[in-house]
Amino acid sequence: MGQSSMIQVSNLSKTYTMGHKRFKALDNIDLTIQKNDFVAIMGQSGSGKSTLMNVLGCLAQADSGDYQLDGESVAQLTDDALARIRNEKIGFVFQSFNLQTRRTALDNVLLPCRFSSDKPEQIRVRAEALLKRVGLESRMNHKPGELSGGQRQRVAIARALINQPSIILADEPTGNLDSKTTLEIMSLFNELHQSGQTIIMVTHEDEIAAYAKKVIWLKDGQIVKVEHND
C-alpha cells in the first residue's frame, strides 16, 4: 500500500436482508483514497452510497473484504476500538447538522472531546480557534436555535475538526441550505482541502460534486465510473 493512502478498500461487500429478499448494498468494491483527496460519492437512491459512507465511517461493518484506514485494518477491531477511530480519526458532517439544541455553539464543538487526554484549557482554545476559522467568532455562546442554517453547519464543521481527524465524512452537507449558503459552506470545504484535509462527501448534486477532485459513481453497489475534476 502506498505511503500516502488514507483509505484502501478491496473486495468490500455488504448484503442486507429485507423480508425474504436479500440485496447487495455493496458488491466487491475496490477503492483507494489518498491523503488530502477531496472525493464526492454520487449515485441514485439505492446505489449503495450511504452504505459505503457508513462502512468508511466505521458506523457499519462490511460482510467481507478488507478496509484499511490510515494503515489499520478495520475488520478485526473491537467495538471500543471502532468507537475510538470514529472519535479520533473521522469527523462527521451531516445534512441535518446533529447539534444539541440546549448547548451553545462552543459546547457543541467541545462534545467529541469528552474522552480526550488533552487538557480542558487546550481543547477550549482549539474549539474557539475553530469557530473563529469558520467565521463564528461572535456566535460562540449562541444556541443552535439562534443561528441560521449555514451557521449551524459551520458549527458542525468546527465540531468535526476538533479532534484533528484524518478524514472528514460529509453526508449531503448542503442538503438543507439555500444556494447562497451552499456556496459559503462549499468554499469552506475547499479551504479545508487546500489546507491538507482529506474529505469524502456524499451528494446527489452535480454542482456540489464539482468541488471535489474525484467523483465516484455508484450503481447497484458497484463503482461504475470515476471522474477527475480539474
Instruction: Please report, for the domain that includes residue 74, its CATH number.
Output: 3.40.50.300
- If asked whether residues 222 and 187 sit together in one domain, one would say yes
- If asked whether residues 33 and 72 sit together in one domain, one would say yes
Last residue of a domain, one of 145, 164, 183: 164
- If asked whether residues 1 and 83 sit together in one domain, one would say yes
Q: What ranges in 18-163 are assigned the alpha helix state H?
A: 49-56, 79-88, 105-110, 120-133, 149-161
Per the structure, how many domains does the chain have? 2
C-alpha grid cell, residue 81: 476500538
Last residue of a domain, one of 110, 129, 164: 164
- If asked whether residues 111 and 148 sit together in one domain, one would say yes
Per-residue pLDDT tens digits for 19-64: 889 889 999 999 999 999 999 999 998 899 999 999 999 999 999 9
Q: Is the pLDDT of residue 115 over 80?
A: no
Cα separation, 217 vs 10, in Å, equals 17
Asked, for residue 142, whether it belongs to a domain, the answer is yes
Cα separation, 159 vs 172, in Å, equals 17
Q: Is the pLDDT of residue 1 over 50?
A: no
Say what the pTM is. Answer: 0.91
| Amino acid 2: pLDDT | 43
DSSP-derived letter for residue 155 is: H
Per-residue pLDDT tens digits for 126-168: 999 999 999 999 999 999 999 999 999 999 999 999 999 999 9
* Contact call for residues 109 and 143 (beta carbons, < 8 A): no
Residue 97 CB-density burial (10 A; 0-12 exposed, 13-18 middle, 19+ buried): buried
Q: Is the pLDDT of residue 7 over 80?
A: yes
- If asked whether residues 175 and 227 sit together in one domain, one would say yes
- If asked whether residues 117 and 17 sit together in one domain, one would say no
- If asked whether residues 223 and 178 sit together in one domain, one would say yes
Asked, for residue 28, whether it belongs to a domain, the answer is yes
Cα separation, 123 vs 121, in Å, equals 5
Per-residue pLDDT tens digits for 65-110: 999 998 889 988 899 999 889 988 999 998 888 999 999 999 999 9
Residue 109 pairs in a beta bridge with none
- If asked whether residues 2 and 83 sit together in one domain, one would say yes
- If asked whether residues 183 and 136 sit together in one domain, one would say no
* Contact call for residues 39 and 32 (beta carbons, < 8 A): no
C-alpha grid cell, residue 176: 438543507
Asked, for residue 94, whether it belongs to a domain, the answer is no
* Contact call for residues 87 and 112 (beta carbons, < 8 A): yes
Cα separation, 65 vs 38, in Å, equals 24
Asked, for residue 156, whether it belongs to a domain, the answer is yes
CA 94 vs. chain centroid, Å, equals 8
What domain range is 181 assigned to?
1-89+166-230
DSSP-derived letter for residue 19 is: T
Asked, for residue 95, whether it belongs to a domain, the answer is no
- If asked whether residues 16 and 63 sit together in one domain, one would say yes
